[in-house]
Amino acid sequence: MSSEFVPPGYQILHLLGSGQTSFVHLAKHRQRGTVALKLPRPELNEKPLLRRMFENEVQITLSLKNEHVVATYDGFPTGKKAFLVLEYCPGGTLDQLMLEKGSLPLEQGYRLIIDVAKGLEYSHHRHVLHRDVKPANVFLAESGSAKLGDFGTGMYLSERSDDRVGTAFYMAPEIFRGSNATVQSDVYSLGILAYEVLTGQRPFVGNSYDALMMAHLSGLPKNPRHYRAGLPQEVGKVIARAMARDADKRFQSVREFLKVFSATTGMSLSENAPRIFGRAGRAKRNNNEDDKAKGRETTAKGLGRWFGRKKNDS
């Protein structure tokens, strides 16, 4: 794989950023307009786990079409001409927004959480687990709505993997123990995200992967009202249920979470709800702690499924 290839019809404008698997460019296309173009990093040739991660993102995201999932326009998963074309979200990431704005207004926080939950619910409906739900993987459209993205660690529900995949700040206890990812483990990560969005603080912190593992397995997070006294107690209870250490005590589906959360907060699930837009700046969270704690391992399967679907869809 090489980042030198540019798919026909696209003109690179400038570099937006980079991740473990790819360089992300702002690009222009005659029909599609401004897009985000992901090109795999050259070192993926020597790093099969990261290569499969990129392949995984391409094959999964091309099958997802929902207003709360970052739209994917085109892509090819493997080889020297691998690429992925995504919707460009000018608001940046939810992580950047929180870093820039600090504590968000409650109503805005509620709405963003609902948006993320809707994107996650849809992916589960399409039999896809995300396995890395966190603010850095949530992107903000110009309207202010939130969209779930970065499915590089995604996995089909029909697959089985005991890899400890995800970011340790948001991983469910059972994943640390080596169990398979489930809908409930994604719900746990959603609960951690909701806690952080509404309080500005992560419920579990640590300077290493092992420290975070122990925090998730045996620690007790502070009541979110400790950080935000104005947060209704019942909302805190909803978040606590999503974050329950025992998977059986969590919401058993994202739909169940959405119903209870919207009823408790008084927020409509309608797509016509008003938006509060805050453009995220260029500032980034200090990643030293994240880098130590991520512990990423990933497995991508089913390229045959991707090629079969591509042929049928063409």
Residues marked as catalytic:
132
Residue found by looking up tokens 């999932």 in the block: 69
Cβ–Cβ under 8 Å, residues 146 and 190: no
| Residue 13, both tokens | 């404008």
C-alpha–C-alpha distance, residues 58 and 124, integer Å:
17
Beta-bridge mates of residue 71: none
Phi, psi torsion values for 72, nearest 5 degrees: -115, 125
Q: Computed over its alpha carbons, how large is the radius of gyration of the chain?
A: 19
Q: Is 23 helix (H, G, I), strand (E, B) or coil?
A: strand
- Of 258, 229, 245, 277, the closest CA to residue 90 belongs to 277
CB atoms near residue 253 (< 10 Å):
16
Helices (H), 206-287: 209-218, 233-242, 254-265
